[in-house]
Amino acid sequence: MSYGSGSFSGEEYTDRVTLSTGLVIASQSIGVARSAQGFEDVDGILGIGPTDLTEGTISDFETAPTVTDNLHSQGTIGTEALGIYFVPSAVSDSTGELTFGGHDSSKITSSVTYVPLTTTFPASSYWGINQSISYGRSTILSETAGIVDTGTTLVMIASGRIIHS
């Protein structure tokens, strides 16, 4: 399975999974890695994105439901949504928080805005959103699409025409 800047190979199993928050998933696909490349000091990866991202990763299956998919389809969470909270790097405790089924309003200072997923390829293969990009008073891209990815530390900008205002 390729993932970002690395890959894993091994066996796939299905088992009951209990997350530390007490959420139980009755039948979750789990990959047990025999080998990994491009990852150091990593215990594993938790697949929380859309099911389409699993396409072609497991033999004999077109796709596999992710943790978020299974929590929703099994009725554990009412909304297929995920709240993600990262502690600022200046804080010594570098833990964060995932809230399945919504967000923790005590962790935010403004309202949450939901936007529709994009139909623009290739962002439409992920949790993609329509966006425009400006720097100061200059519009760099007036219309493009980007992805939301908790595992990405890079900022990728779609290629396109630069518009000066």
Shared domain for 31 and 103, answered yes or no, is: yes
Domain that holds residue 141: 115-165
Shared domain for 93 and 18, answered yes or no, is: yes
Shared domain for 88 and 128, answered yes or no, is: no
Shared domain for 44 and 124, answered yes or no, is: no
Shared domain for 137 and 56, answered yes or no, is: no
Shared domain for 58 and 99, answered yes or no, is: yes
Shared domain for 159 and 133, answered yes or no, is: yes
- Cα distance between residue 88 and residue 107, in whole Å: 12
pTM of the model: 0.71
Shared domain for 21 and 74, answered yes or no, is: yes
Shared domain for 76 and 122, answered yes or no, is: no
Q: Which helix (H) or strand (E) holds 68?
A: helix 67-73
pLDDT tens string for the chain (165 positions)? 776 677 888 888 889 999 877 889 998 988 888 888 887 777 777 778 777 777 777 766 788 888 999 999 999 999 988 888 877 666 656 677 888 999 989 988 888 877 777 888 777 777 778 888 888 899 887 888 877 776 665 555 656 554 444
Into how many domains does the chain fold?
2
Structure tokens at 126: 């992920």
Of 80, 107, 134, the residue at which a domain comes to its end is 107
Shared domain for 87 and 128, answered yes or no, is: no
Of 60, 82, 107, the residue at which a domain comes to its end is 107
Q: Which residues are registered as beta bridge partners of 49? A: none
Q: Which helix (H) or strand (E) holds 29?
A: strand 24-37
What CATH number corresponds to the domain at position 92? 2.40.70.10
Shared domain for 148 and 127, answered yes or no, is: yes
Q: Which helix (H) or strand (E) holds 67?
A: helix 67-73
